[in-house]
């Protein structure tokens, strides 16, 4: 007879990608999970997983079984969570996907405040620069940026964002301040790669959309890397102004051609369609919306705007990008 608890273990193993990952999440020894899955396979008369020293892969039968069982298990977990939450505050575990440098852009201190507010929640952040399969990987919530493809997922916009040109004061002293977009051709610029879509900068200016083809002095495929290079005086970068705002406030960076900016892209909270969104997911989304709208982030855009206005410059807007998720990627 099939044990429903073993089915739950199987779903957790698939979502975690390993016995060890499932064991950490469930608080069980990996060898115990492996043994119970062998019992499940024997009861079903079918192999569900192909085991190797490096990875686990579902068999065709395993994939079909997972696709049939996972939604039902999710409904049970959600019903249990909702019942508990109806009697008190949000509780349980949340698995959140975000870019690798997510906490370079949004203070980790925010999480201290969030966990104090909701002590019965346990958070697991899965940081990578790929697009996670929310269903297969058991992701409750993903933070993504840019233009999102059409899908069955729900995407709630948290903030609009723009990018602008920045450089260090040291660079400007040495090479001068560009006065027109065309002058960027003669300057040292920073980009994600030498590919045309990274070296053709399209910006909205006083005369509408304009573009310029730059020749990068250095290529770095993360916005954090470009930020550090710009701060070090290595060139001009096209970066999210939210990311660069602290350096703009301190004077480590200055805004170049403030009348030009990149179009808005946005940061989104993405989650699977559900009849009722778990209270913990709603709480985390609302928490980030509150932080972003109030502008109290260390790299908050409003502080940057006030600083630039006081200097008599054009106000800067927050920024993001398309392609991979997060406010920190670098496609122009």
Q: Can you give the CATH number for the domain in which 202 is found?
A: 3.40.190.290
Which of 85, 112, 146 lies at the terminal end of a domain, its last residue? 85
Residues 6+ apart with CB under 8 A from 325: 98, 99, 129, 131, 142, 143, 144, 145, 146, 268, 270
Q: How many domains does the chain have?
A: 3
**Is residue 174 located within the same domain as residue 234?**
yes
**Is residue 155 located within the same domain as residue 271?**
yes
Residue 305 lies in a domain: no
> The domain that contains 81 carries what CATH number?
1.10.10.10
pLDDT in tens, 186-231: 999 999 888 888 889 999 989 889 999 998 989 998 888 999 999 9
What value does the mean pLDDT take over residues 288-312? 53
Residue 190 lies in a domain: yes
What value does the mean pLDDT take over residues 84-105? 78
Residue 247 lies in a domain: yes
**Is residue 276 located within the same domain as residue 150?**
yes
What pLDDT does residue 117 have?
Answer: 92
What value does the mean pLDDT take over residues 66-88? 69
- Alpha-carbon distance 270 to 64, whole Å? 25
**Is residue 271 located within the same domain as residue 147?**
yes
**Is residue 23 located within the same domain as residue 114?**
no
**Is residue 146 located within the same domain as residue 67?**
no
- Alpha-carbon distance 48 to 37, whole Å? 9
For residue 298, pLDDT over 50 is answered with: no
Domain limits for position 52: 4-85
The rounded percent of the chain whose pLDDT value lies above 90 is 28
Residue 225 lies in a domain: yes
Helix axes 109-117, 279-294, angle to 10 degrees: 130
For residue 245, pLDDT over 50 is answered with: yes
What value does the mean pLDDT take over residues 41-61? 84
pTM for the model stands at 0.58
> The domain that contains 144 carries what CATH number?
3.40.190.10
- Alpha-carbon distance 258 to 136, whole Å? 44
pLDDT in tens, 233-244: 999 999 887 778
Residue 177 lies in a domain: yes
């Amino acid at each position: 007879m099939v044990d429903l608890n073993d089915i739950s273990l199987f779903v957790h193993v698939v979502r975690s990608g390993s016995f060890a990952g499932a064991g950490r999440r469930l608080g069980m020894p990996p060898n115990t999970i492996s043994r119970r899955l062998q019992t499940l396979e024997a009861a079903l008369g079918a192999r569900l997983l192909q085991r190797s020293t490096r990875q686990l892969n579902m068999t065709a039968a395993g994939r079909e079984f997972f696709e049939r069982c996972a939604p039902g298990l999710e409904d049970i977990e959600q019903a249990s969570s909702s019942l508990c939450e109806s009697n008190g505050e949000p509780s349980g575990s949340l698995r959140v996907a975000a870019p690798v440098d997510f906490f370079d852009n949004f203070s980790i201190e925010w999480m201290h405040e969030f966990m104090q507010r909701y002590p019965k929640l346990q958070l697991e952040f899965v940081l990578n620069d790929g697009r996670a399969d929310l269903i297969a990987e058991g992701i409750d919530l993903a933070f993504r940026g840019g233009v999102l493809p059409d899908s069955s997922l729900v995407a709630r916009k948290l903030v609009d964002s723009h990018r602008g040109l920045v450089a260090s004061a040291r660079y400007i002293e040495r090479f001068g301040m560009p006065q027109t977009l065309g002058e960027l051709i003669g300057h040292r610029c920073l980009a994600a790669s030498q590919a045309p879509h990274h070296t053709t900068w399209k910006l909205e200016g006083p005369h509408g959309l304009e573009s310029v083809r730059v020749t990068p002095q250095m290529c770095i495929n993360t916005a954090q890397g470009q930020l550090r290079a710009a701060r070090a005086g290595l060139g001009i970068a096209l970066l999210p102004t939210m990311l660069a705002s602290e350096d703009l406030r301190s004077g480590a960076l200055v805004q170049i051609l403030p009348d030009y900016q990149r179009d808005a892209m946005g940061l989104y909270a993405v989650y699977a369609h559900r009849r009722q969104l778990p209270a913990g997911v709603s709480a985390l989304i609302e928490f980030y919306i509150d932080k972003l709208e109030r502008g109290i982030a260390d790299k908050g855009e409003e502080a940057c705007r006030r600083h630039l206005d006081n200097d008599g410059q054009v106000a800067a807007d927050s920024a993001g990008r398309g392609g991979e998720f997060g406010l920190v990627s670098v496609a122009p």
